[in-house]
Amino acid sequence: MGQIMGVEISKVDGNKHLSIREAARRLLRFEIQKFVAPENYSTIIDDLILELSDLQPGNIIQPEFEKGASAEILELYSTENKIVQLGGAEPDESICWVPGDLEIIWAEFSKYASALSEAGYPGCLNCGGKDAGEEWNENLRRSEMMKND
């Protein structure tokens, strides 16, 4: 298996890695107000937030946790706007979406978030990946992900 940004590629289709990395960048770049997720994710979300805080004490992430209606979807909200959805049916195009099995996606998402935070993202130059400075094209990413599904 290969690596992207020092993160071992695992069970996630290669076309989804760019979207997972963008979702992790959004976690670190935006002021996250809440996570909406299955109840069993409460502790692992807390663990990730604690790890990110240890890696970058100046980047304060203090989201609320809200139990979601679905066991297959995890959502991140900045203010009242959903900015990331892991799993579930396709949301509005303004939302960074990663389709697939939530457990597998979460494992990759948390690895990317940790690797980006350890590198100093968002305060570092080019550590978010070569595409980090480019405007995110959700429509393009979705069409690329769907080619292999």
Domain that holds residue 50: 3-147
Per-residue pLDDT tens digits for 3-59: 444 445 456 677 798 899 999 999 999 999 999 999 999 999 999 999 999 998 888
Rg (CA), the chain: 14
pLDDT for res 134: 76
Closest listed residue to residue 113, CA positions, set 22, 42, 8: 22
> How many CA atoms does the CB half-sphere of 19 hold within 13 Å?
30
Residue 85's φ and ψ, nearest 5 degrees, are -135, 120
Domains of the chain: total: 1
- Model pTM score: 0.86
Please give the full DSSP string across 40-89, using - where no structure is assigned.
Answer: GGHHHHHHHHHHHHHH-TTS----EEEE-S-TT-EEEEETTEEEEEESSS
- State the angle between helix axes of 102-119 and 42-55 in degrees (0 to 180), rounded to the nearest 10: 10
- Judge contact between 91 and 97, C-beta under 8 A: yes
Cis peptide before 122 (omega within 30 of 0): yes
- Judge contact between 32 and 63, C-beta under 8 A: yes
Per-residue pLDDT tens digits for 69-118: 999 999 999 988 999 999 999 999 999 999 999 999 999 999 999 999 99
